[in-house]
Structure 1
Amino acid sequence: MTVDELLAEARAALNRLDPHEAAAVRDSGGLLVDIRYAALRDRDGVIPGALIVERNELEWRLDPTCDHRAAEAVGHDLRVVVICNEGYASSLAAVSLRRLGLRHATDLTGGFQAWREAGLPVEGVGVGAEAGEGR
């Protein structure tokens, strides 16, 4: 299997959301989870209210049965939208969360960049946040 096939298989299992749909999930009590690494968050900013969890900690922080879970990981019925930079790694991460029993986990099509391009709120924008820089 190639990575492209793995990604296609992951996405076939998800009902991926556009930025406005992801915002609606957040507004209705769901959880946006930003898995981008610190340099991208520093450069481009963050989505207000999103939980920051680096990818290598995601399963431990979101598994409601884990001793190392985030306070927001309240149960398997939680609506979770995983966000990476451009919407690739988040698809694989969302499927991993589904395998842990978070049956409503999905991801944001186009990632953080799509959120920003849709004109949705971003805070803490650092130096170099001009559109397209460093992609």
Structure 2
Amino acid sequence: MLVDIRPAAQRLLEGEVPGALVVERNVLEWRFDPGSDARLPIASYDLRVLVLCSEGYTSSLAAAALVGLGITRATDVVGGFVAWRAAGLPTAG
């Protein structure tokens, strides 16, 4: 599951990844914590989560926070959206 945690203004400016689930950083933990009443239906401890931010800094911390919740298959995109786009991977906007 590719999860874009960038704020709306940043996604508008930089572009988006088609098919990525948008969950802004400020709500990430409680949306993916399987024990949260506000969790997403897909939330589970064995879910593979690939977190994406702009340059890969915020996503590293966000992935570590998910691992701390017990979502051990969480990681991030090294270099973030900037690296994703530079690699020629799909983008929109």
Q: 2:78 aligns with which of 104, 109, 112?
A: 109
User: Does residue 81 of the first structure (1) align with residue 70 of the second (2)?
Assistant: no
Please report the TM-score for the alignment, with normalisation by the length of structure 2.
Answer: 0.94
1:72 positional shift = 2.5
Identity %: 60
Amino acid at match of 1:114: A
2:14 to 28, 32, 44: 44
Q: Secondary structure at the match of 1:92?
A: helix
Aligned to 1:70: 40
Q: Are 1:61 and 2:31 an aligned pair?
A: yes
CA distance in 1, matches of 2:19, 2:46: 19
Measure the CA separation in 1 of the matches of 2:54 and 2:23: 13
User: Which of structure 1's runs of 4+ aligned residues deviate more than 6 A?
Assistant: none
Name the CA distance, whole Å, in 2 between partners of 1:67 and 1:59: 12
Alpha-carbon separation, structure 2, partners of 1:72 and 1:122: 24
